[in-house]
Structure 1
Amino acid sequence: MKQALVVEDLAEVRDWLVGIAQSVFPGVEVTAVGRADAAMNCVASHPFDVALVDLGRPDGNGIDVVRLLHQKRSQCLAVVVPIYDDDEHLFPALQAGAFGYLLKDQRREALITQLLRIASGEPPLSPPIARRVLSFFGRSSAGLTPPRLQPASQVETVRLTEQETVVLQRVAKGYTLPEIAQQLGLSRYTIAEHVKHIYRKLDVSSRAEAALEAARRGLVS
């Protein structure tokens, strides 16, 4: 029986990823954890065949989990499942030994299809990520300066992406997560992930605190 590790601190998204792993690998035994330290303890004691790892951890960086999997369980298909396709997250994850980089910001069926392809040995990157990698090497071969590779933990923590800014604005206006998902044409899991990262970046823990930060940034009057 295959063993899978799911590392995701948001409970609803974690359950969603567990369901995906079970759909891709029928009969798989799934260990699901929300903290990086728990994940690393599991890696030391379980011969995982596949791992789905979110990068943003309250107690550390998911890249550390990927690195340990690469070192201790080299046969494991360690797949990073973030919502970000930027260079600052992508390349450190690949350097740490990630076998795949699949964005959560897509339909469940699409993610399942991509994981099935990874399991069968096909290229393990979401299409937007594959294009970014090709662009990276294109810049390098043309003599242009490629993006500086740095750990995700060194990325400026108070800078929000364009989509995060939109989500923060709607949170501050009182919309629920399902309402925001419908407005933006995204899944509720993706919106929940955005909110999780927004709260972590801004060091807030409630909608009221987020609304104050949105007002400070001029997003709401």
Structure 2
Amino acid sequence: MESKPVLKQGLIVEDQPATAEWLLARAHETFPDLQVSLAANLAQGRKLIAAQRFDVALLDLGLPDGSGLDLIRLLVTEQPDCIRVVTTIYTDDHHVFPALRAGAQGYLLKDQPPHKVSAALQGIVQGEPPLSPTIARRLMAVFSQPESDADEAVRLSPREKQTLTLVAKGWKVSEVAEHMQVTTNTASGYVKSVYRKLDVNNRSEATIEAVRLGLVRTEI
């Protein structure tokens, strides 16, 4: 069975006080019991990450003393189980794709209506990558190919497609193995095969491919 994440500790990194409060309201609206720590810059974010464990992090990219990408990478290394979600105003490729490559598992735009942001955050516990509709459309556009091109999905076996779907939803290899009723080594082999065939290197890139192939449902 799918193991849904239990979110107890949250981190919000945002330099604008009003926006930080807005995000805090969205987080509490979605997860009433979530204990949230606030950081206004890169340095504060690093200190908090070093001091405690987080289940979910909402990270701005443009910070006064650096880039939120550094915090994404730090969390990937130090707290890999923390769900990393970018919250920003940037929709261009120069921000979206570096964030996903760095290890972001979601990308939300702060100019969305509150209920849209809350709904996207709620998707975390449903195993759905939190993507703003604009970003989901952009991913679909970038990775769409003419019908004459070879479809990567055709090259994936049914088991590999299933593995890709589960990995994109945030499942651990052990959970994939249990769900598919195979050994952990076998599930790990499926993951490696999917990464090789799709020419991706991590879960975030695999998620992009799963979105493009229509294996993960997004609200567009």
On whether the aligned pair clears a TM of 0.5, the verdict is yes
1:163-214 alpha-carbon deviations (Å, 9 max, x no partner): xxxxxxxxxxxxxxxxxxxxxxxxxxxxxxxxxxxxxxxxxxxxxxxxxxxx
1:4–1:28 contact (8 Å) kept in structure 2: yes
In structure 1, stretches of 5+ residues that fail to align are 144-221
1:48 aligns with 2:58: no
Question: 1:12: how far off?
Answer: 0.6
2:114 aligned to which of 108, 117, 134: 108
CA distance in 2, matches of 1:130, 1:40: 29
1:123 CA drift (Å): 3.2
1:69: which partner in 2?
Answer: 75
Q: Given residue 44 of structure 1, which amino acid in structure 2 is its aligned partner?
A: A
1:124 to partner: Cα distance: 2.2
Relative contact order (C-alpha < 8 Å, sep 6+): which is higher? 2
Distance of aligned partners of 1:104 and 1:29 in 2 relative to their CA distance in 1, 3 Å threshold: same
1:120 to 112, 126, 143: 126
What stretches of structure 2 of length at least 5 have no aligned partner?
1-6, 150-220
Aligned-CA RMSD value: 1.8
Deviation at 1:80, TM superposition (A): 0.3
Instruction: Evaluate the alpha carbon distance shift between residue 90 and residue 29 of structure 1 in structure 2; reply closer, same or farther with a 3 A threshold.
Output: same
TM-score calculated relative to the size of structure 1: 0.61
Tell whether the 8 Å contact from 1:100 to 1:118 is kept in structure 2 after alignment: no
CA distance in 1, matches of 2:101, 2:51: 24
Contact 1:4 1:51 in 2 (8 A): yes
Q: CA deviation at 1:119?
A: 2.4
Distance (Å, rounded) in 1 between the aligned partners of 2:147 and 2:89:
28
Alignment counterpart, residue 136 of structure 1, candidates 131, 137, 142: 142
After superposition, the C-alpha distances for 1:50-94 in whole angstroms (9 at most, x for unaligned) are 111111001000111111111111111110011111100000000
- Equivalents in 2 of 1:10, 1:121: separation in Å? 29
Q: Establish whether residue 36 from structure 1 lines up as the match of residue 62 from structure 2.
A: no
CA–CA distance in 1 between the matches of 2:62 and 2:144? 29
Partner of 1:15: 21
Q: Of residues 83, 107, 121 in structure 1, which corresponds to 2:89?
A: 83
Aligned residues: 143
Normalising by structure 2, we get a TM-score of: 0.61
Q: Point out 4+ residue stretches in structure 1 off by more than 3 angstroms.
A: 139-143
Partner of 1:26: 32
Contact 2:45–2:71 (8 Å) recurs in 1: yes
Matched with 2:10 is 4
Deviations 1:30-66 (A, max 9, x none): 1001011110111122110011111100100011111
